[in-house]
Amino acid sequence: MNLEMIIVQIVFSYVGTFAAAFVLNVPRKMLNLTAITGLIGWTSYWFVKQIFANGILANFTGGLVVGIMGLILSRKKNVSSVIFTIPALIPLVPGATAYQALMYQISGQTINAIDKLFVVTMYAGAIALGYILSQFVTEQYIRLTDDVKTTVTKRFKR
């Protein structure tokens, strides 16, 4: 893990997410924040993958980070979180592995195709689970902070 590789990962994750957001017609004012969300999600995925060499844990982490960032930014900018999360999740999608599964199936190597398809399913499930967990955790945090604000406001109004 050298500095050049880290810079390459950061630049291409930003550019890839920006391009996906542009194609998906994200409002121009939100393009940069969406790309930064994808950059942070991909960078967290990449660091976990480098440290633990576990693609499932890395995809889970990437989905979790993207989900949390998307919800935080959506509350700050008062827009839907989908604007930030959908383009930011695109770099995490295991497209190359799905392509390999398809190529194995076409070439008649069914066992290898099933193996790759299983890996794709595990990665996609990890991304989805991380994203869903981020939604749950963020909602609970927001509800807790809103309850605390309400309680404090009621006590000081008396």
Closest of 69, 133, 116, 127 to residue 93, by C-alpha: 127
> 152 falls in which pLDDT band (50, 70, 90)?
low
Per-residue pLDDT tens over the stretch 45-87: 999 999 998 889 999 999 999 999 999 999 899 998 899 999 9
Residue pLDDT, tens place only, 96-112: 999 999 999 999 999 99
108-141 confidence digits (pLDDT tens): 999 999 999 999 999 999 999 999 999 999 888 8
Q: Taking the domains of the chain in order of start, what are their residue ranges?
A: 3-157
List Cα–Cα distances, 23 to 17, 71, 126, in angstroms.
10, 21, 25
